[in-house]
Structure 1
Amino acid sequence: MKFALHFGNTSFPDAAGAMRLARLAEAAGFDSLFAVDHVVLPEHYDSPYPYSANGRLPGNITAAMPDPLVWLAFAAAATTRLRLMTAVIILPLRNPLVLAKQVATLDAMSGGRLDLGIGVGWLREEFDALGIPFAARGRRTDEYIAAMRALWRGEPASFAGEFVRFEGVRCTPAPPRGAVPVIVGGHSEAAARRAGRLGDGFFPSIGAQVDTLPLLAVARRAAAEAGRDPAAIELLMGCPGALPGSGQDPLVAVEERRRQGVGRVVLPLGAFLPDLEDSLPRFGEQVIRRFGAA
């Protein structure tokens, strides 16, 4: 079982904080560190936020939210083993050629430690601000994944789709592993099916106001229907019972996730604040090392 910390860039938006957190997480035995994404946040929005009961973004929208790839670059520079993941980058808001270059560069410079967590987005007003159609974001996402993978193969790449078209171009450096794993995030059946058809993993996002556990089976079934090995789809999921102060036995809670097929447990960083120097090593000793994670 592997363990990840979520919301790193919103909890520690400055360079010193990013590097401090990354070092502590790596020393405690966490597998990976996640960073969230929005390009812009409108002052006024009607779109319901799907990860809180009141449909509104938590916290203050004036708080710093660094670009996830830039922030993860600081975390990468401070560590040697810790994996890094966008959770999730809003893929249809990005030019896929530019993003493929940025992602491959960070993956190469970190020694192949990047996972690209992607989502289709929920905030229509953000799409409007960037001049990108909200209605076509699902089809755009599928096509962008295919286009980026074509660029990552390290040879003259060509692609012709509804939204993206290029011929005979190179994108270097190439990812050390031949591609960057794409982890599909989301709380819907559409996200689960996309993960099964196209993803290297599936992450039903923390805080969804629906039961996301059944979506794991949806992702596996979609993989089988697409002729892929369902067991090859990494499953990531939250585990409230493992959090400090939950009142539950964290070992029992994590073991239950393992029985459900989850390979990486994702925990919100806020549960370990404010004293990371105490809370992260303690969790590493009491929980992570009991499951054999490095």
Structure 2
Amino acid sequence: MKIGITTFVTDEGISGPKLGVALEDRGFESLFLPEHSHIPASRKSPAPGGGELPREYYRALDPFVTLGAVAAVTERLILGTGVTLLIQRDVIHTAKQVATLDRISHGRFVFGVGIGWNREEMADHGTDPRTRSALLDEQLEAIRKIWTEDLAEYHGRFIDFDPMYAWPKPVQQPHPPIFIGGGESAAERAIRHGVGWIPTAVADPAAIPAQLAQLDGHDLPVTIAFAAADPALLDSYAEAGVQRLILSVPTLPEQETLHALDEITKAADRYLT
């Protein structure tokens, strides 16, 4: 099982490039960055887990620009989005961004996508929260056409474009790995599209079999996100056949982040390369 890290890279914490180098030096396999374009001041949508929305949600850097900077100073580190809020994005621009990042990283990109939870954020982008699931399905179909076809064309209810030329194409063939983030509905979508799944880690190892059973026996790649650096939890996920576990690191200044990574390294040492 591979071990990655997820964190909010902001203007107040460690920089993306310094974080990337620190992860590669310590043997971590990957870095996954979340995305929020903005946080509406209304705050009508409740924060994940309840309570006040943490400060880093307001200050997150753009994941694609940040990962591009990380790609320039690393050689092996897998670079992922965890997750891109695709329903808030233009699918043609995003297809180019992903392909470009896959090119400049020499095929190290993993495309994690999700629907998101902040309905006001979606609405500011012109996305109707009531149809966001159907929109994501079409976007996933359309973006794969752009990546894999020299003359791409798509006609759906929400995404509609006539034949187009769009380069660059990704280095990875047929395209970078796609993972759908979320719970049961995300697992169902991953099954429909034949891609990977990113659920949130459970706290109790005994709950892992029931969590993975949501894939209904389909042999799809699984990346577990937002896990605590608990050796018992790591071992249980590894025994269950999970390919990648992403551990959470709080957004902290550089030296505090490096110290946190050293502590995580001790807990996950036998899984690091």
TM-score w.r.t. the length of structure 1 is 0.82
- 2:229 and 2:268 in contact (8 A); partners too: no
Structure 1 residue 88 corresponds to structure 2 residue 114: no
1:216 is matched with: 212
- Alignment partner, residue 245 of structure 1: none
Listed as ranges, the matches of 1:125-140 within 5 Å are 125-140=120-135
Q: How does 1:55-134 map to 2 (within 5 A)?
A: 56-59=52-55, 63-134=58-129
Contact 1:201 1:236 in 2 (8 A): no
CA distance in 2, matches of 1:116, 1:206: 19
| 1:183–1:202 CA contact under 8 A, matched in 2 | yes
Pairs aligned (count): 268
Kept after mapping to 2: 8 A contact 1:36/1:89: yes
Kept after mapping to 1: 8 A contact 2:7/2:33: yes
| Alpha-carbon distance in structure 2 between the residues aligned to 1:60 and 1:241 | 21
Unmatched tracts of structure 2, length 5 or more: none
Correspondence list, 1:199-238, <5 A: 199-205=194-200, 213=208, 214-218=210-214, 220-221=215-216, 230-238=218-226
Counterpart-to-counterpart distance in 2, 1:39 and 1:279: 27
Q: 1:199 to 1:114 in 2, by over 3 A?
A: farther
- The within-5 A match list for 1:169-184 is 169-178=164-173, 179-184=175-180
| Equivalent in the alignment of 2:39 | 41
2:25 maps to which residue?
A: 27
The percentage of counterpart residues that share the same residue type is: 31
Task: From 220, 238, 254, give the equivalent of 1:258.
Answer: 238
How far is 1:278 from its partner? Answer: 4.5
RMSD: 2.6
Residues 91 and 141 in structure 1, CA contact (< 8 A), matched pair in contact too:
yes
Q: What per-residue deviation string (whole Å, max 9, x for no partner) do you get for residues 81-109 of structure 1?
A: 10111111111111111110111111111
Residue of 168, 172, 185 corresponding to 2:181: 185
Greater mean deviation of Cα atoms: 68-77 or 198-207: 198-207
Q: How many Å separate the matches in 2 of 1:192 and 1:131?
A: 26
TM-superposed CA distance for 1:207, in Å, is 8.6
SS at match of 2:129: coil
Please tell me whether the aligned partners of residues 200 and 234 of structure 1 are also in contact (alpha carbons under 8 angstroms).
no
1:277 deviates by: 4.0
Closer/same/farther in 2, CA of residues 13 and 36 from structure 1, 3 Å limit: farther
CA contact (8 A) 1:4 1:266 kept: yes
Equivalent position amino acid for 2:227 in 1: C
Query: Take 1:264 and 1:85, find their aligned partners in 2: how far apart are those partners?
Result: 12
Q: Secondary structure at the match of 2:82?
A: strand
1:280 counterpart = 2:268: no
